[in-house]
Amino acid sequence: MERRAVCVLLWISCLLRCGVSHNDFFTSIGQMTDLLFTEKDLVTSLKDYISAEESKLEQVKQWAEKLDSLTLTATKDPEGFLGHPVNAFKLMKRLNTEWGDLENLVLKDMSERFISNLTIQRQHFPNEEDQTGAAKALLRLQDTYQLDTHSISTGNLPGVDLGGLPFMNSMTAEDCLELGKIAYSESDYYHTELWMVQALRQLDEGEESEVDTANVLDYLSYSVYQQGELEKALEYTRRLLQLDAGHQRANGNLKYFEFQLAKRMEAQADEGGKGKDSAERGKRETKSKTVENDFLPEKRKYERLCRGDGLKMTPRRQSRMFCRYFDNNRHPRYLIGPVKQEDEWDRPNIVRFHDIISDGEIAKVKQLAKPRLRRATVHNPETGELTTAHYRVSKSAWLIEHEHPVVDRINQRIEDLTGLEIGTAEDLQVANYGVGGQYEPHYDFGRKDEPDAFEELGTGNRIATWLFYMSDVAAGGATVFTEVGAAVRPMKGTAVFWYNLFPSGEGDYSTRHAACPVLVGNKWVSNKWIHERGQEFRRRCSLQEMDRQSPVLPHLLHHLL
């Protein structure tokens, strides 16, 4: 009861805090969908404005035409015209009132409604941070999934059917320039070059655009220069000067690059080709700098697994992986209708439950979570506090027990199928990953060398993880285990389960895992972190520190016998 009250209080304080700060969009698609409807309403409002402006212009036109023919006739014989008293009266009336009315009409602002609509809506629009976030996500996807700029620009991504309306997914030269500029502002000259080259290619192919080719060339020459490619920098600068002979910076750079190149040639002549080597070295150094930024081979492993070229299990190990009907040792709820369980990996033992959450339940869980989705946080290992981090890009919400019968039903199901006490578990977390949304390699359990992140819960460490997949993902978004090379693809309606701790209570470091960036689609998951307390008589006891025996195994044997 007390725990619930604390949760509710936490939730209210979060609501208050989040109401003030900007709740970013780019981290989840769940809330981005609302923006599409907002945009649709704005288009309707814009069209109303256009009609109003058109009818106003039509009135003005009619007036002009009427007056055009009238003044033409009147000026042919002014005296004769004004000799008619009605004409004289009408001239007075026109000049005294009608031109005034026309002035008011011309001055009338038809845009008021539209503009006020726009002003109101814009308060809830994505901001600079969202745009940069979405752009960086694209760059991240490009690296992780080794995509070339042309494929991204034409929207031709794996898992995407271009049969429909390809232009909807494609990028203009201006979009490419924008992406390049964002990479530039991050001093990421490697991606700047790639995207500026793509912009230039599209312009060269004759794409109609407002983009100034000289501007693209300016970025290009600088980014290749930064990567140590003097000849290319010179080439782009020359091309720039062909378009704009008076370009000040380009003229300066031309001289500088020519000078540098001449110096290099001289050195080459002197040292018999060593110059080129050093140029090459320069190039390699910049390239390796980017590699250095990624620093870890683990990052490479993570990306490889995400691309699906992970490690293959030996046939011998593979032969020991099974699918079975599972009733958790004749649990009364599953005796008549056992569930489908499949081994996904042996060490650590990862099992997948099929058809374990219905579409209706998923829809309800999403509906409950959607208004409460907030940028996911992580524990700062130094301070133990919760913060946002670039390596965890998603939004999440917590569903509290008893808030809806579906939540209770799900909690009960996890308890029944794992045999573990669920009362000491954390609330049900619902997460939604947007474009490029990911969670880089991590452990779910708390390590000995960090402040105890779960201390205040008083329920011990995270003994096990239960993860529901609540959507399919068209491309990307797998859960990968970087230490052992396992990759688990999201499949709507299934769930995976693994132990994070050995029976001794020691952390199992082979459970290190990550959520790959979503390439195409929308990823919804929901997880339950089960804690140590309460499992004392549930999980088989063991004094062996490195006991790797899977807790599911005894039940498996029961089935095989």
Give the separation between CA 417 and CA 411, rounded to whole angstroms.
Answer: 10
- Tell me which of 254, 393, 495, 525 binds ligand OGA, using CB under 6 A: 525
CB 344 within 8 A of CB 486: yes
479 binds, among Fe ion, ligand OGA, none (CB under 5 to 8 A by kind): ligand OGA
How many residues form the binding site for ligand OGA (CB under 6 A)? 9
Closer residue to ligand OGA, CB minimum distance, 197 or 397: 397
Phi, psi (5° rounding) for residue 465? -120, 130
**Per rule CB under 6 A, is residue 27 in the interface with ligand OGA?**
no
Q: Rounded to whole angstroms, how far apart are CA atoms 312 and 486?
A: 8
| 515 touches ligand OGA (CB under 6 A) | yes
Compute the least distance from the CB of residue 358 to ligand OGA, in Å: 20
What's the Rg (C-alpha) of the chain? 33
Angle at 102 between CA 99 and CA 105, to 5 degrees: 160
Nearer to ligand OGA, 220 or 306 (CB): 306
- Whole-number Å distance between alpha carbons of 125 and 142: 26
Cβ 461 to ligand OGA shortest distance, Å? 14
Q: How far apart are CA 188 and CA 184, in angstroms?
A: 5
The nearest distance, CB 431 to ligand OGA, in angstroms, is 6
Cβ proximity to Fe ion, 111 vs 510, nearer residue: 510
Rounded to an integer, what distance in angstroms lies between the CA atom of residue 420 and that of residue 443? Answer: 20
Pick the closer one to ligand OGA by CB: 227 or 527.
527
Return the number of the residue (361 or 444) whose C-beta is nearest Fe ion. Answer: 444
152 binds, among Fe ion, ligand OGA, none (CB under 5 to 8 A by kind): none
Residue least distant from Fe ion (Cβ): 444
Q: How far is CA 408 from the centre of its chain?
A: 31
| Residue 419 one-letter amino acid | G
* Binding site partner of 511, from ligand OGA, Fe ion, none, Cβ cut-off 5-8 A by kind: none
In the complex, what is the shortest distance from the CB of residue 8 to ligand OGA, in angstroms, rounded to a whole number? 23
User: What's the Cα-to-Cα distance from 91 to each of 70, 84, 94, rounded to whole Å?
Assistant: 10, 11, 5
Peptide bond before 451: cis, by omega within 30 degrees of 0? no
CB atoms within 10 A of CB 380: 14
Partner in contact with 525, chosen from ligand OGA, Fe ion, none, beta carbon below 5 to 8 Å by kind: ligand OGA
By a kind-dependent CB cut-off of 5 to 8 A, residue 370 interacts, out of Fe ion, ligand OGA, none, with none
* Ranges within 479-508 binding ligand OGA (CB under 6 A): 479
* Residue 22, H or E segment: none
Task: Kindly identify the residues of this chain, within the stretch 261-280, that bind ligand OGA according to CB under 6 A.
Answer: none
* Residue 515 binding target from ligand OGA, Fe ion, none, CB below 5 to 8 Å by type: ligand OGA
SS (H, E, C) 463-490: EEEEEEECCCCCEECCEEECCCCEEECC
Cα separation of 464 and 418, whole Å? 9
Please give the structure tokens belonging to residue 82.
């004004």
Taking CB under 6 A as the criterion, which residues in 419-448 touch ligand OGA?
A: 431, 439, 444
Q: What's the closest the beta carbon of residue 477 comes to ligand OGA, in angstroms? A: 7
Q: Output the CA torsion 202→474→399→377 (10° steps).
A: -50
Q: Angle at which helices 128-144 and 297-307 pack, to 10 degrees? A: 80
Find the shortest distance in angstroms from Cβ 480 to ligand OGA.
8
Among ligand OGA, Fe ion, none, residue 229 binds (CB under 5-8 Å by kind)? none
Residue 527 touches which of ligand OGA, Fe ion, none (CB < 5 to 8 A by kind)?
ligand OGA
Asked if 513 interacts with ligand OGA (CB under 6 A), we say: yes
Asked if 461 touches ligand OGA (CB under 6 A), the answer is no
Query: Shortest Cβ distance from residue 398 to ligand OGA (Å)?
Result: 12
> Which pair of tokens denotes residue 356?
């374990």
Closer Cβ to ligand OGA, 220 or 453, answer by number: 453
Tell me if 526 contacts ligand OGA by CB under 6 A.
no
560 alpha carbon, distance to own chain's centre: 44
> Which partner from the list Fe ion, ligand OGA, none does 532 bind, CB cut-off 5 to 8 Å by kind?
none
**Which CB atom, from 170 or from 429, has the smaller least distance to ligand OGA?**
429
Which stretches of the chain bind Fe ion, using CB under 5 A? 444
Do 341 and 324 meet the contact criterion of CB atoms below 8 Å apart?
yes
Smallest distance from the beta carbon of 462 to ligand OGA, in angstroms?
9
Cα of 161 vs its chain's centroid, Å = 20
The distance of closest approach from Cβ of residue 442 to Fe ion in the complex, given in angstroms and rounded to an integer, is 6
385 and 379 Cβ atoms separated by less than 8 Å: yes
Rounded CA-CA distance 520/202 in Å is 24
Sites of contact with ligand OGA (CB under 6 A): 431, 439, 444, 467, 479, 513, 515, 525, 527
